[in-house]
Amino acid sequence: MMLRKMIHKLFKPPLKVLLTVDIIAFPLVIYALKKLSCEHPVALAAYFISAYALVISIINFKRIKDRVKALIKGDELRPVRAIKAFMRRYKYTRLYLESMDFRAEAGLYLGLVINLFYAVFKVVTGAIYDSAWLWSIGIYYLFLGGIRFFLMRGQRRKNNLISGTEIKLHEYKTYRLCGCLMMILDIAVGGMAVQMIWQNKANEFSQAAVIISAAYTFYLFVLAIYNVVSFHKRDNAILSAAKDLALTGAVMSMFSLQTSMLHAFGSADEESFRRMMNTVTGSVVMAIVLAIATYMIINGTRKTELYRKQTGDLDNG
């Protein structure tokens, strides 16, 4: 019984303790990676603390999410109260505060902007480091931005429809087409990944650039998972497609980040290990994207046929 309580306290500490561990772990592991050898005692401690921080953050993700949501939605914090009071003065900021669908639609526009900036970042760094893989990733994100634009256009067209059945038919047609575009894109990126793994080339980032990319990628990944879960039960196929698209971009970023980290923090005699890790991760990433795209096509086709029949019944009636 005593052991169970100790394990519970170890892996489910108070949120203040959890936050403190996370704050300590991040700069400590950066210092260890940049300044210390792998065998240094401080580096070993940093790796242990960062691994512990990651584990307890994953285990307590729901607690963290619920607490953050309570702080944002509630009036406990004075800055939150002030921001909400300011946002309620204006129409669109008030809609953003009160409507989840409006927030998701605004997220499409924001996601497109971030997508384009990230694509430019990859293309520029590809030119600086003469990396065909970085160029490929940049082009991938440009296509991803194109699909986002297609979803934005679909959402605008949906807003002009009146009939509920026609709206749902349009949503699932857009949803299915998005899945088809994602599958085509995944096949193309799979070919580039195979070439990169075969040639055993890596993204030649500086360590500082890798650390910045890592922070952004993990933030993007957690946010994408949260959004997919949040919109899973929402009755809007276009916005659900946008969240699925964000998740595929996040997992692709994880793969790209891994290639950079293995090169930046690994040694020259680890080529076989790099090839193995990139092969495993690349295969998993491509399988995830392919599974998401396949599900979107199958589900979109099934729902399209359902609503098409309903539309035909209405016309006949």
Structure confidence by residue, pLDDT tens digits, 149-189: 888 888 888 877 767 778 888 888 899 999 998 888 777 77
Chain centroid, CA 222 distance in Å: 6
One-letter amino acid for residue 283 of the chain: S
User: Can you list the residues of the chain whose pLDDT is less than 70?
Assistant: 1, 133, 162, 192-193, 195-213, 216, 226, 228-234, 263-270, 311-317
